Amino acid sequence: MGGMIPKWSYSFLSDYQICPYRVQSKYITKDAKHEDTEAIRWGNTVHAALDKAISAGSPLEGEVGRYAPWASAFTGQPVETEVRLGVREDGTPCGFYDEDCYGHGKVDVVLTPGDSTIRIFDWKTGKVREDDFELRVNAVFAQARNPEVRHIWGWYVWLGQGAAGKLGVRHDLSDVERTWAEIDSMMHTIRANAAIHHWPKREGPMCKFCPVKQCEYNKTP
């Protein structure tokens, strides 16, 4: 069956790229249950700790203490953390929960140094995968709020690499129009799927981690 399409987010769009049926089960019919794994809990712990360390100067203690150099790197900088941003369908900024919000997301670190650039950092506690789509989606939100800015750079910070993690490669996120076109194209197809209640299943490597247990392609333990 169909259902109301939620506001898009990076996770929503990424799930659609993996499998349309996954989107139906997670976001439309909501048959798939949220999974709270050890890896997810650790990622949430790290994000929360770095947020408090950068925004409020809270000390990083215990296992997250090794990430203190990342927090101190932003000391005195014009930085925001865990920023909830939204955009309307016409590209103008709006609140994360606004009724006319088209898409929304939470950006880990936004640095606006005053030199006509925006710099985005995304904490990652999993395996290294330098796919820039998540950063480009975050750039859509950042540029909507700062339309005068035309140069946007982004980095993943791979906290699972080495003792304290490592900075990933620099991604040029400035071509926001291209990212908008990709998002609009996906949303057009998603709306078509919803209109005819058709969410095709797509077998692939992510079936090993999929929360949609009722699918015959599911390969989770």
pLDDT digits (tens, 9 = 90+) for 122-180: 999 999 999 999 999 999 999 999 999 989 999 999 999 988 999 999 999 999 999 99
Per-residue pLDDT reduced to its tens digit, 77-103: 999 999 999 999 999 999 999 999 999
Give the start-to-end residue ranges of the domains of the chain.
Answer: 37-199
Q: Which of 215, 186, 194, 200 is nearest to 13 (CA)?
A: 186
Q: Domain 37-199's class?
A: alpha beta
Position 2 scores a pLDDT of: 41
Position 1 scores a pLDDT of: 36
Confidence of residue 4 (pLDDT cuts 50, 70, 90): confident
Its pTM stands at: 0.93
Residues forming beta bridges with residue 103, ordered by sequence position: 8, 87
Per-residue DSSP letter, 104: E
CA dihedral of 119, 123, 127, 130, whole degrees rounded to 10 = -10
Phi-psi region of 194 (alpha: psi -120 to 50; beta: other; left: phi over 0): alpha
Q: What is the largest CA-CA distance in the chain?
A: 53
